Amino acid sequence: MSQPASLPTHAASAENEQRERIKTVVHANADAAAAQLAAEIAALIRSNDAAGKPTVLGLATGSTPVRLYRQLIRLHREQQLSFKNVITFNLDEYYGLSRTHPESYWRFMHEQLFNHIDIPAGNVNVPDGMVPRDGVFASCRAYEDKIRQAGGLQLQILGIGRTGHIGFNEPGSGRDSRTRLVTLDALTRRDAARDFLGEANVPRHAITMGVGTILEARRIVLLAWGEAKARVIAEAVEKAPTESLPASFLQGHPAVSFHIDTAAASELTRIRHPWLVGTVDWTPALARRSVVWLSQQVKKPVLKLLDENYSEHGMADLLTEQGPSYGLNIRIFNEIQHTITGWPGGKPNADDTHRPERAVPHSKRVLIFSPEPADDVLGMGGTLRRLIDQGHDVTVVYQTSGNLGVPDEEATMAAELVLELDRVSGSAANPGAAFARDVRQQLAAKAAFDGDTPEIRKLKGILRRGEARAALQACSVAVSRARFLDLPFYEKGRYRQFQIGDADVAAVTALLREIKPHQIFATGQSSDPSSVPAVCFEILRRALVATKGESWLNDCRVWLYRNPEQAWEPAEIEMAVPLSPRELSWKIQAIYHHKSQRSQIPSVTEGRHESWQQAEHHNQTIARHYDALGLAEYEAIEAFQRWHLS
Ligand code: GLP
């Protein structure tokens, strides 16, 4: 493979980082990264304070920097870090949102940071989203002037959007762009839809510092967590700078670094294809990954790979160590072949030497964890049905109620339905009707982006339970197999602001002890740590730690499934469950029952992003990959990976 045209911009990179044009530090987890950056900021503030100078920081919004802000608040409280001489400039603001709007970045910054530290109100700067259209240009220029008057940004914190945007500099933003009004990309608006309770409510425009403004900061640190950011991080770090990925313009800045977690780093060449950038220890997993990659590169099934294919693609040493290709191909082919099973709970009375799951005990107690209703069927609806058909004792655990994802109109309709029933039945003093009447009133009184009252959340949760039950029935699962935990972290929180409590872990621990599962299916392990799936996975992990040493746990395997937006590469899959066309269509029907999760205004949405479409595409893509490797051609495949409690 050819090397990048220009040398990496950061000095002294290790051999395996040679493709990286931005210094990228991979941390064990987001908290470790946030703690390190918070310490750097504290040191900067203290040294400026000692020199009698202010500290000028550029700040970002989004879920990503929240952990950093928590650390800064901690340093303020525990180590008396003062922000009295700190001046901040935020990157951006939605255009048309007032400061009081729950989704305004002004409000976000106050709730997440400013209200908890001693920064003077006059030192806080966020672009004004309410400036009239004809005053935007002047207001943006004044913002830039103010940064300059403060002495320029000493440190700029950035997150990154899935389009590769920094601030709101969407693809197409030039390297020299300045603070201005921009139009938001469709993907960005879709990513913000959950916060705004529907894509239609997401503003179309924003005011953002320009790429040029950002590049003038003396130091820049970009943070990213979770697998959803992995592709865009790899592109920004390794590809040539381009307007279609504004974060790539950070290359060339003299003091920029990316601090990311392992999930966000997973697409970097040094991690995904390490044999391309240095000598590697050819573990079985790496050998498999490289052979699958080679097969995809040369577009040949595994069994047809030749020695020269290996040597022409930088894999000669694998051949020397484990070749020739004939035997290596067969070995890897067999390994992948053995991931395929129609028996996700193990095949009774079969030799299971090469099967992903053990045969005994035959009827297994299976716990399927679904962070929100719908995650179960989206990730593993076909496998769920198979487990039931094959006689396993399956319990589906909905960890959260999912009520935050229900639009008001759905709740109003449900309340009306109860009231109508009450009228039809003529029953006096029906408490259900009284509740529905209250909820209807509360919904009517609610302003557009107000949070929901506990009663509204209750009703929305009930709605999602109904959908989950209908979906289970579509998978031929008895509704009695569903357990709804309504974990408190979710009931007390809102998106981006969840905090795990002891009660969450206790609820899952109790359930594990009650069921004593032989198999657990779960998701969220490498998601953005602030997301519901990641929080739910962390709760499960802590519950498993709490039960360590209990005998059932020695005989329990944990399988990970993934949401349809995050594909596993074939070489990473450890259990592949094929679905027939019929099974796929049952799965889609099950997903379809999650009515409140469908796009509210299908006519204004484009492309394949209804969840059942994504699931169908995802499962068919995996099947196509297996086919291209020379394995059997299935309609669709659901994929799993084993997870071990360390
Ligand atoms: C928004 C913000 C960006 C932020 C991005 C990613 O678009 N304008 O500054 O980096 O979201 O958000 P998150 O951190 O929630 O993934």
Question: Tell me, what's the pLDDT at 39?
Answer: 97
Cα of 498 vs centre of ligand 1, distance in Å, is 17
Confidence of residue 475 (pLDDT cuts 50, 70, 90): confident
Dihedral angle over CA of 20, 22, 23, 29, nearest 10? -90
The residue written with tokens 């490289």 in the block is: 290
Helix (H, G, I), strand (E, B) or coil at 579: strand
Nearest CA to ligand 1 atom 5: 161
How far CA 341 is from CA of 293, 386, 608, in Å, comes to: 22, 11, 29
Report the relative pairing of strands 55-59 and 155-158 from DSSP bridges.
parallel
How far CA 243 is from CA of 236, 250, 448, 622, in Å, comes to: 11, 11, 36, 31
Cα of 65 vs centre of ligand 1, distance in Å, is 9
| Total Cβ atoms within 10 A of residue 162 | 15
The rounded distance, in Å, linking the Cα atoms of 273 and 271 is: 6
Confidence of residue 567 (pLDDT cuts 50, 70, 90): confident
Instruction: Establish whether residue 164 lines the binding site of ligand 1, counting it when its CB lies within 6 angstroms of any ligand atom.
Output: no
Report the relative pairing of strands 519-522 and 365-370 from DSSP bridges.
parallel
Q: Give the pLDDT confidence of 298-322 residue by residue, as tens digits.
A: 999 999 999 999 999 989 999 999 9
- Out of 93, 97, 160, mutate this one to test ligand 1's pocket (max ligand atoms within 8 Å of CB): namely 160
Helix (H, G, I), strand (E, B) or coil at 172: coil
DSSP for residue 452: P
What type of residue sits at position 518? H
Angle between helices 375-389 and 581-592 (to 10 degrees): 130
Residues 579, 634 contacting (CB under 8 angstroms): yes
Confidence of residue 426 (pLDDT cuts 50, 70, 90): confident
Question: Quick one: which atom of ligand 1 is closest to the CA of 208?
Answer: 8
The rounded distance, in Å, linking the Cα atoms of 484 and 531 is: 19
Quote the Cα angle for 127-259-236, to 5°.
75
Q: Give the pLDDT confidence of 635-646 residue by residue, as tens digits.
A: 999 999 999 998
Choose among 31, 8, 499: nearest CA to 240. 8
Residue 535 has pLDDT above 80, yes or no: yes
Residues 551, 398 contacting (CB under 8 angstroms): no
Cα of 221 vs centre of ligand 1, distance in Å, is 14
Residue 446 has pLDDT above 90, yes or no: no
Instruction: Establish whether residue 91 lines the binding site of ligand 1, counting it when its CB lies within 6 angstroms of any ligand atom.
Output: yes
Average pLDDT for the chain:
93
The DSSP H or E segment spanning 598 is: none
Residue 6 has pLDDT above 90, yes or no: no
DSSP 337-353: HTTB-S-TT--TTS--T
Nearest CA to ligand 1 atom 12: 62
Report the relative pairing of strands 636-643 and 557-560 from DSSP bridges.
antiparallel
DSSP for residue 166: B
Nearest CA to ligand 1 atom 3: 167
Instruction: Establish whether residue 64 lines the binding site of ligand 1, counting it when its CB lies within 6 angstroms of any ligand atom.
Output: yes
Tokens of 439: 């909820």
Question: Tell me, what's the pLDDT at 429?
Answer: 67
Average pLDDT over residues 85-111: 95
Residues 593, 471 contacting (CB under 8 angstroms): yes
Tokens of 197: 């309770």
Cα of 62 vs centre of ligand 1, distance in Å, is 4
Question: Quick one: which atom of ligand 1 is closest to the CA of 64?
Answer: 14
The rounded distance, in Å, linking the Cα atoms of 101 and 206 is: 14
How far CA 431 is from CA of 135, 215, 272, 436, in Å, comes to: 55, 61, 58, 9
Q: Give the pLDDT confidence of 494-519 residue by residue, as tens digits.
A: 887 899 999 999 999 999 999 999 99
| Total Cβ atoms within 10 A of residue 552 | 14
Nearest CA to ligand 1 atom 10: 159
Instruction: Establish whether residue 92 lines the binding site of ligand 1, counting it when its CB lies within 6 angstroms of any ligand atom.
Output: yes
Residue 9 has pLDDT above 50, yes or no: no
Cα of 324 vs centre of ligand 1, distance in Å, is 48
3-state helix, strand, coil in the chain (%, to 5): 45, 15, 40
DSSP 68-129: HHHHHHHHHHHH----TTEEEEESEEETT--TTSTT-HHHHHHHHTGGGS---GGGEE---T
Average pLDDT over residues 592-605: 71
Quote the Cα angle for 24-26-29, to 5°.
145
Cα of 157 vs centre of ligand 1, distance in Å, is 11
The residue written with tokens 């004939």 in the block is: 326
Share of the chain above pLDDT 90, in %: 81
- Per the omega criterion (within 30 degrees of 0), is the bond before 578 cis? no
Number of H helices, E strands in the chain: 22, 17
Instruction: Establish whether residue 226 lines the binding site of ligand 1, counting it when its CB lies within 6 angstroms of any ligand atom.
Output: no
Residues 129, 193 contacting (CB under 8 angstroms): no
The domain spans of the chain are 15-270, 280-337, 365-406+461-643
Question: Tell me, what's the pLDDT at 200?
Answer: 79
Choose among 8, 2, 146: nearest CA to 88. 146
Instruction: Establish whether residue 529 lines the binding site of ligand 1, counting it when its CB lies within 6 angstroms of any ligand atom.
Output: no
Residue 427 has pLDDT above 70, yes or no: no
Residues 320, 276 contacting (CB under 8 angstroms): no
Question: Tell me, what's the pLDDT at 199?
Answer: 79
Cα of 123 vs centre of ligand 1, distance in Å, is 23
The residue written with tokens 């029906």 in the block is: 430
DSSP for residue 432: H
Question: Quick one: which atom of ligand 1 is closest to the CA of 206?
Answer: 8
| Total Cβ atoms within 10 A of residue 214 | 27
Instruction: Establish whether residue 533 lines the binding site of ligand 1, counting it when its CB lies within 6 angstroms of any ligand atom.
Output: no
Question: Quick one: which atom of ligand 1 is closest to the CA of 162?
Answer: 6
Tokens of 213: 């403004």
The residue written with tokens 């399927």 in the block is: 368
Question: Tell me, what's the pLDDT at 604?
Answer: 45
The CATH code of the domain at 365-406+461-643 is 3.40.50.10320
The DSSP H or E segment spanning 560 is: strand 557-560
Instruction: Establish whether residue 59 lines the binding site of ligand 1, counting it when its CB lies within 6 angstroms of any ligand atom.
Output: no
Nearest CA to ligand 1 atom 6: 161
Q: Give the pLDDT confidence of 326-360 residue by residue, as tens digits.
A: 999 999 999 999 999 999 999 998 999 999 999 99
Cα of 362 vs centre of ligand 1, distance in Å, is 47
Domains 15-270 and 365-406+461-643 are alike in CATH topology: yes
DSSP 181-231: EEEPPHHHHHHHTTTTTSGGGS-SEEEE--HHHHHTSSEEEEEE-SGGGHH
Evaluate whether the domain defined by 15-270 bears CATH number 3.40.50.1360.
yes
Question: Tell me, what's the pLDDT at 61?
Answer: 97
Task: Give Rg (Cα) of the chain.
Answer: 26
- Per the omega criterion (within 30 degrees of 0), is the bond before 517 cis? no
Instruction: Establish whether residue 159 lines the binding site of ligand 1, counting it when its CB lies within 6 angstroms of any ligand atom.
Output: yes
The rounded distance, in Å, linking the Cα atoms of 230 and 513 is: 36
The number of C-alpha atoms within 13 Å of 428 and in the hemisphere containing its C-beta is 0
Question: Tell me, what's the pLDDT at 497?
Answer: 81
Residue 623: phi, psi to the nearest 5? Answer: -60, -40
Instruction: Establish whether residue 61 lines the binding site of ligand 1, counting it when its CB lies within 6 angstroms of any ligand atom.
Output: yes
Report the relative pairing of strands 86-90 and 124-125 from DSSP bridges.
parallel
- Per the omega criterion (within 30 degrees of 0), is the bond before 361 cis? yes
- Out of 184, 189, 191, mutate this one to test ligand 1's pocket (max ligand atoms within 8 Å of CB): namely 191
The rounded distance, in Å, linking the Cα atoms of 100 and 119 is: 19
* Higher-pLDDT residue of 448, 51: 51
Nearest CA to ligand 1 atom 9: 167
Instruction: Establish whether residue 60 lines the binding site of ligand 1, counting it when its CB lies within 6 angstroms of any ligand atom.
Output: yes
Quote the Cα angle for 12-13-15, to 5°.
120
Residue 1 has pLDDT above 80, yes or no: no
Average pLDDT over residues 23-48: 97
The rounded distance, in Å, linking the Cα atoms of 455 and 457 is: 5
Average pLDDT over residues 189-201: 83
Question: Tell me, what's the pLDDT at 13?
Answer: 60
Question: Tell me, what's the pLDDT at 35?
Answer: 97
> Mind telling me the catalytic residues?
170
Residues 209, 91 contacting (CB under 8 angstroms): yes
Instruction: Establish whether residue 399 lines the binding site of ligand 1, counting it when its CB lies within 6 angstroms of any ligand atom.
Output: no
Instruction: Establish whether residue 160 lines the binding site of ligand 1, counting it when its CB lies within 6 angstroms of any ligand atom.
Output: yes
Cα of 168 vs centre of ligand 1, distance in Å, is 8
